[in-house]
Amino acid sequence: MKPTLPILGIIALSSFISSCDSKNNSVKERDTPKESVSYDSKTSQKITKIISELLSLKQDQIKPDHAIIGDLGADSLDAVELIMWIEEDFNISIADADAEKLVTVGDLIRYVERKTKKSKSA
């Protein structure tokens, strides 16, 4: 059973707040190395299109290093709606603990690519 929308919104917002540098309101760099994002992959193009439609942005305005909440102007409810849209379009389930870690567009692309690879190999 999925948590209610307000709980997910609070989770997304608290995740973003904890990822921000309070001195200059920018997203902190993570200590863990990131896999490169193939921005031309079908997955990244589909995710970019979803974000574009959800947030009324042009697709070329959306870059892998952009924070979904912050750089792209999404709020916590937008983030929850984005996760639900991604789950439906890619036929995957995103755990709340995982959703908290998906701060940037690149994080989301990498996560979905890993999840869809696992589903295909299972």
Range with the lowest mean pLDDT among 20-29, 60-69, 88-97?
20-29
Give the residue-averaged pLDDT of 87-102. 96
117 domain residue, yes or no? yes
Q: For residue 66, tell me if it sits in a domain.
A: yes
Percentage of the chain lying above the pLDDT 70 cut: 66
Q: Report pLDDT digits (tens) over 111-121.
A: 999 999 877 77
- Looking at per-residue pLDDT, the higher value among 35 and 97 belongs to 97
Q: Is residue 69 part of a domain?
A: yes
Number of domains making up the chain = 1
Domain residues for the domain of 56 are 5-20+39-121
Q: What percent of the chain has pLDDT over 90?
A: 61
pLDDT tier at 27 (50, 70, 90 boundaries)?
very low
* Greater model confidence, 81 or 22: 81
Q: Residue 106's domain is classified under what CATH number?
A: 1.10.1200.10
Q: What is the pLDDT of residue 118?
A: 78
What residues are labeled active site?
75
Buried residues in 14-50 as b, exposed as e (16+ CB within 10 A):
ebbeebbeeeeeebeeeeeeeeebebeeebbeebbeb
DSSP 31: S
Average pLDDT of the chain to the nearest whole number: 79
CB-neighbour burial class of residue 51 (10 A; exposed 0-12, middle 13-18, buried 19+): buried
End-to-end CA distance of the chain: 23
